[in-house]
Chain A
Amino acid sequence: MSTLEIKDLHVSITTEQGVKNILKGVSLTIKTGETHAIMGPNGSGKSTLASTIAGHPRYTVDSGSITLDGEDVLAMTVDQRARAGLFLAMQYPVEIPGVTMTNFLRTAKTAIDGEAPKLRTWTKDVKEAMAQLRIEPEFAQRNVNEGFSGGEKKRHEILQLELLKPKFAILDETDSGLDVDALKVVSEGVNRAIAEGGLGTMLITHYTRILRYIKPDFVHVFVDGNIAEQGGPELADRLEDEGYDRYLADAQATA
């Protein structure tokens, strides 16, 4: 079993207007086998948390720690973090000209495993995973995310999750912008990865909709750069009924 531990994390970014504090003391522990939903309104800092774990250079960690089985994640480069077992499904996957999906997936798999995958089984695995996510075979020869629709991009993020088999998956609004059919396909993919065992999941979402398909063990309400409340799946139901207004009012009152 592995543990991803975030302790009292403070993160800021520097913009033209100056330094802006975004995360204000986030603490969260995720173990493999667990699924944590992080729910919160737009602008509360969910993507910042996800990007900081992955090591995006834009974000400055002012204090606090992130460790993976005791290892200092913040000391690792972006690619080292991925090789250590962290995976970020991005809210806005970028397009990469000149690199086909096939080439990209093989290169990533080789980097993560430290050796090239056996060609025969690998090709079969990729084909199967694509079929399960209802991705047309022709996508294998297309450039990474180039000209993909929003839904196609999200499916490809989950394709990578299934093929790269990380220890921890951070899914940043993988559900947003999907129609119901696509949402089901994507959720099934995540559930397959969870069912294989040994995966800890941080499911970041704005809506409760995806929680009908992916069952969280824990729910954290994220407001203004911090966790405002935590609970079990029942907390998600309450959010569905009440929305975030209550928390926002609180945040304003204390501001």
Chain B
Amino acid sequence: MTELTEEKTIDAADGKVWSQGFIKGMTEEGEQLSDLNPESGPLGGSAVKAHSHGDSHGGGVGVPDSSRAGRLTSYKLADFPLITGREEDWRFTPLKRLRGLDRVGVKGQQLDGPAPAVEVTKPDAVTVETVGRGDARIGRAGIPEDRVAAAAWENFAEATVVTLPAEYQGTAEDVTTLTLTGAGTTPAASHILVHAKQFATGVVVLDHRGTAVLSENVEILVEDGANLTVVSIQDWDDDAVHASAQHIQVGRDAKVKHVVINLGGNLLRTTPSARYAGTGAEVEMYGLYFADAGQHLEQRLFVDHSTNNCKSRVTYKGALQGDGAHAVWIGDVLIRKAAEGTDTYEMNRNLILTQGARADSVPNLEIETGMIEGAGHASATGRFDDEQLFYLQARGIPEDVARRLVVRGFLNEVIQHIKVPALEERMREAVERELAAGTL
């Protein structure tokens, strides 16, 4: 098995200047392990004891513990050990700021607050239902991979099920939008299933707003031949805490485009994972985040290539500004032995705009077969520096315009891939708002 892991940390606070540009035009600083929760190597913690729970998604038996394939998956909270912060998948997360989401079941910590209110706009053919926990459709696309997601799974009261009927032909104009407005700061659980039946095409937007302390599971079930776009926007109020495990399962010859937009909230931890249920499927994952002072935005991805001739593309870009702004991107891609003909590429880029912001970026590619089309990754973090500013200003461009020009250009690469005009416009406005709110 081949493993390629690269770890990059940029800590703009230390003012170090590194001469080598990791990508052209970007200066790069620091390469160091920077566990927020120290005392652990990258393979420490629960991964060592990881085991599998007799589920088709689990796999893992006989796979080295350090492998992503060996990570514990279970619907039961009790199966997961307590989070110490030293585990590979928690080492960057400031647990103290999770407001109890990590400690459900410990010392009476509950997860029984009201789930966000759901408001729906949709085309007629698409159905949106509220169903009980026992609904047979729940659990088909995903299984929790960490304690926080398992707690949500055990505690949600009702689920929202969005169904695109078989052969439904939606366009980028008739989008289904669930506006999810947080109901306050009592820790809450929620569950959403987005289900595209065979050959259905359409766009579903999950628009998170207001304030919440929320642990959420989103199942995205894409049946054979379907073509689904799911955009998850996290534009919470400043104090919100949100853990969102988004489980994608994509069928034979199906396509899914998954977009994560992390803008507002105190701590956002978004963990999308994609699994293939048939051959010839394609997964595109885009992400855009903008971390301000004090914000922790963490996105951890997993693409599990278990079947042959499937494709995946991951493109995440983030901008950071202000003291204590912290972004984490982890991209795990596993190409299992059976996944011959896999074609995968993942990329993460960060742009640090001010001192005091920090980005961690770790792509991790595990390859168990050599019979693949292609596999690659790129990760880079750059700083917008004084020399770039001087250059633009020396061409007559005022300082504020210069900074915006750079940030807009940088993030536009993701925005233009959303391909939903109303959303693209909203994202451009959101970027403007972030820039205006910052020191820029």
Asked if A and B are interacting partners, one says yes
Q: Please give the residue numbers on chain A whose beta carbons come within 8 Å of chain B beta carbons, in ascending order.
A: 54-57, 77-79, 81-83, 87-88, 90, 93-100, 103-104, 107-108, 111-112, 143-147, 160, 164
- Bound complex: CA of A100 vs CA of B410, how far in Å? 10
- Bound complex: CA of A103 vs CA of B408, how far in Å? 11
- Bound complex: CA of A98 vs CA of B353, how far in Å? 13
Contacts of A143 in B (CB 8 A): 25, 409
Contacts A95-B25, A144-B25 supplied; 14 other A-B pairs, CB < 8 Å: A79-B394, A82-B393, A93-B391, A94-B387, A94-B388, A95-B21, A96-B25, A96-B392, A98-B407, A98-B410, A99-B405, A108-B395, A144-B391, A147-B25
State which residues 37-67 of B face A: CB under 8 Å. Answer: none
Contact A97 B401 (CB under 8 A): no
Pick the contact of B396: A95, A98, A99, A108 (CB < 8 A). A108
Q: Which of A54, A98, A104 counts the most B-chain CB atoms under 10 A from its CB?
A: A98
Contact B398 A79 (CB under 8 A): yes
- Bound complex: CA of A220 vs CA of B235, how far in Å? 60
Q: B24 contacts the other chain (Cβ, under 8 Å)?
A: yes
Residue of B nearest to A114 (CB): B396
Contact B391 A82 (CB under 8 A): no
Contact A56 B405 (CB under 8 A): no
Contact B406 A57 (CB under 8 A): no
Contact A82 B25 (CB under 8 A): no
Q: B172 contacts the other chain (Cβ, under 8 Å)?
A: no
Q: Please give the residue numbers on chain B whose beta carbons come within 8 Å of chain A beta carbons, in ascending order.
A: 21, 23-26, 351, 382, 386-388, 390-399, 401-402, 405-413
Contact A94 B25 (CB under 8 A): yes
Contact A98 B409 (CB under 8 A): yes
**What is the distance, in angstroms, from A215's C-beta to the closest C-beta of chain B?**
26
Q: Which of A88, A95, A97, A108 counts the most B-chain CB atoms under 10 A from its CB?
A: A97
- Bound complex: CA of A143 vs CA of B410, how far in Å? 10
Q: Give 26 A-B contacts (CB < 8 Å), ordered by A residue.
A: A56-B390, A77-B398, A77-B399, A78-B390, A79-B394, A81-B394, A82-B394, A82-B396, A94-B388, A94-B390, A96-B388, A96-B406, A97-B24, A97-B351, A97-B410, A98-B351, A98-B406, A98-B407, A98-B410, A98-B411, A99-B405, A107-B401, A108-B395, A108-B397, A111-B398, A112-B395
Given known contacts A143-B25, A146-B25, A164 and B390 CB-to-CB distance under 8 angstroms: no
Contact B382 A97 (CB under 8 A): yes
Contact B397 A99 (CB under 8 A): no
Residue of A nearest to B349 (CB): A97
Contacts of A112 in B (CB 8 A): 395-396
Pick the contact of A97: B26, B391, B392 (CB < 8 A). B26
- Bound complex: CA of A99 vs CA of B21, how far in Å? 17
**What is the distance, in angstroms, from B308's C-beta to the closest C-beta of chain A?**
36
Contacts of B408 in A (CB 8 A): 98
Given known contacts A96-B391, A98-B410, A57 and B405 CB-to-CB distance under 8 angstroms: no
Contacts of A164 in B (CB 8 A): 395-396
- Bound complex: CA of A79 vs CA of B394, how far in Å? 5
- Bound complex: CA of A79 vs CA of B398, how far in Å? 6
Contacts of A57 in B (CB 8 A): 386, 390
**What is the distance, in angstroms, from A61's C-beta to the closest C-beta of chain B?**
16
- Bound complex: CA of A95 vs CA of B391, how far in Å? 9
Contact A97 B25 (CB under 8 A): yes
Q: Which of B26, B390, B396, B407 counts the most A-chain CB atoms under 10 A from its CB?
A: B396
Contact A146 B24 (CB under 8 A): yes
Contacts of A90 in B (CB 8 A): 391, 394
Contacts of A78 in B (CB 8 A): 390, 393-394
Contacts of B409 in A (CB 8 A): 97-100, 103, 143
- Bound complex: CA of A99 vs CA of B413, how far in Å? 11
Contacts of B398 in A (CB 8 A): 77, 79, 111
Residue of B nearest to A146 (CB): B25
Given known contacts A79-B397, A164-B396, A104 and B23 CB-to-CB distance under 8 angstroms: no
- Bound complex: CA of A77 vs CA of B398, how far in Å? 9
Contact A94 B391 (CB under 8 A): yes
- Bound complex: CA of A111 vs CA of B412, how far in Å? 22
Residue of B nearest to A99 (CB): B409
Contacts of A99 in B (CB 8 A): 405-406, 409
Contacts of B396 in A (CB 8 A): 79, 82-83, 108, 111-112, 164
- Bound complex: CA of A147 vs CA of B397, how far in Å? 23
Residue of A nearest to B398 (CB): A79
Contacts of A98 in B (CB 8 A): 351, 406-413
Contacts of B407 in A (CB 8 A): 98
Q: Which of A81, A95, A146, A147 counts the most B-chain CB atoms under 10 A from its CB?
A: A95
Contact B406 A107 (CB under 8 A): no
- Bound complex: CA of A103 vs CA of B391, how far in Å? 15
- Bound complex: CA of A146 vs CA of B23, how far in Å? 9
Contact B25 A111 (CB under 8 A): no
- Bound complex: CA of A77 vs CA of B392, how far in Å? 12
- Bound complex: CA of A210 vs CA of B399, how far in Å? 34
Contacts of A83 in B (CB 8 A): 396
Residue of B nearest to A84 (CB): B396
Pick the contact of A88: B394, B402, B405, B413 (CB < 8 A). B394
Contacts of B392 in A (CB 8 A): 96, 104, 108
Contacts of A100 in B (CB 8 A): 409
Q: Which of B24, B25, B387 counts the most A-chain CB atoms under 10 A from its CB?
A: B25
Residue of A nearest to B399 (CB): A79
**What is the distance, in angstroms, from B18's C-beta to the closest C-beta of chain A?**
15
Contacts of B24 in A (CB 8 A): 95, 97, 146-147
Contacts of A104 in B (CB 8 A): 392, 395, 405
- Bound complex: CA of A65 vs CA of B238, how far in Å? 49
- Bound complex: CA of A125 vs CA of B330, how far in Å? 45
Residue of B nearest to A143 (CB): B25
**What is the distance, in angstroms, from A117's C-beta to the closest C-beta of chain B?**
13
Residue of B nearest to A148 (CB): B24
- Bound complex: CA of A142 vs CA of B407, how far in Å? 16
Residue of A nearest to B21 (CB): A95
Contacts of B411 in A (CB 8 A): 98
Contacts of B390 in A (CB 8 A): 54, 56-57, 78, 94
